[in-house]
Amino acid sequence: MARRLAAPLRRLGGVVFSVILTFLGLTAVTFVIGRFMPIDPVISIVGDKASTEVYDRVYKELGLDQPVVVQYATYLSKVVRGEFGNSVMTARPVLEDVWRVFPATMELASLALIIGVLVGVPMGVIAATNRGRVVDQIVRFMSLLGYSMPVFWLGLVGLLLFYAKLGWVEGPGRLDVAFDDMVPTITGLITIDAILAGEDEVFFNALGHLILPASILGYLSLAYIARMTRSFMLAQLEQEYILAALAKGLSPWRVVWVHALGNVWVQLITVVALTFGSLLEGAVLTETVFAWPGLGLYMKNSLFAADLNAVLGATLLIGTIYIFLNMLSDIVYTLVDPRAREPS
């Protein structure tokens, strides 16, 4: 009994250990960036017209006269307690700001990922099963395009075409001004909140705003997901169990979409988790183009305003999400792959 528990516990211990280690590394990086950025944190607060006495006082208050190790320890203990200081731009605690804007990014990246997976995986499967044929070439071309297309360019062209010219989608922002504050914030995802409040009109307006940036982000992730699915699928189709499945009389459809794809999913989990992380990153550009009030736009604005606390806080949040995604993919992995469920 004890032995059966030992292995999963050891595994869990390993995960926790690596999470802590990664987090320490992450904070060290944000700390160092904070130290060596060509932005004087004192001047950001007191302004460049302040007297030397004021400057020195604030310099001391910020602990900048302490040894670097002590400064890092202080920084770490604050970070752990969620104290990232105040944003100069909004004059509010950074954590509060980040917490407020994050759902917008989450909504955008989630829909993008759903689009990327729902379209990208079947595309990859079809490309693999039609290897070398026209469909395969088309998928490959679309993937390549997705890799090489700059987001902001796609965004601008998309807005010009689908919003300005065709009027199929709503413009920049998350919601028309007329609908602002019409639904109570529950999840922070406006589409979900609108459904919860039973406000159809708000829902469709929000979706209209969301669909274009999400499709563009989704297209970028789709390119990667489709390519990975294709190569995973090609490798699975070479396996002996595929021959066995055919030998027992299954249809090619079942062999591909049930047996081969079941094994492809195992490999895709990491890809999907990484894609989600890069979508959060990619959101910076997309949000700027679409005036999407999420973490990306917040970071860009803070960066331009030399608002160091805000930039570092947001960076740390994204890093933490990456760590969390990795952990999550580990858990999902054990759900999809029976081989990962028990100690080996």
The residue ranges that bind other proteins (CB under 8 A) are 239-241, 243-251, 259, 262-263, 265-266, 336-339
> Is residue 285 within 8 Å of residue 155, measured between CB atoms?
yes
* Minimum CB distance to other proteins, residue 224 (Å): 23
Between 228 and 264, name the residue whose CB sits nearer to other proteins. Answer: 264
- Nearest CA to 226 out of 140, 151, 133 is that of 140
Q: State the minimum distance, in angstroms, from the CB of residue 234 to other proteins.
A: 13
Q: Which residue has the tokens 């995973």?
A: 232
Q: Which amino acid is at 90?
A: T
Length of the chain: 344
Considering the complex, state which of residue 53 and residue 240 has its C-beta at the smaller distance from other proteins.
240
Residue 337 CB, nearest approach to other proteins (Å)? 6
Query: Is residue 196 classed as helix, strand or coil in its secondary structure?
Result: helix
| Phi, psi values for residue 315, rounded to 5° | -60, -45
Q: State the helix-helix crossing angle for 2-36 and 308-336, rounded to 10 degrees.
A: 160
Contact 230, 222 (CB under 8 A): no
Minimal distance, residue 342 CB to other proteins, in Å = 8
Q: How far is the CB of 263 from other proteins (least distance, A)?
A: 6
> CB of residue 257 vs other proteins: minimum separation in angstroms?
13
Residue among 134 and 247 whose Cβ is closer to other proteins: 247
Spatial contact of 194 and 202, defined as CB atoms under 8 Å apart: yes
Kindly tell me which of 200 and 342 has the beta carbon lying closer to other proteins. 342
Task: Count Cα neighbours of 178 within 13 Å in the Cβ-side half-sphere.
Answer: 3
Nearer CB in complex with other proteins: 161/243: 243
Nearer to other proteins, 230 or 259 (CB): 259
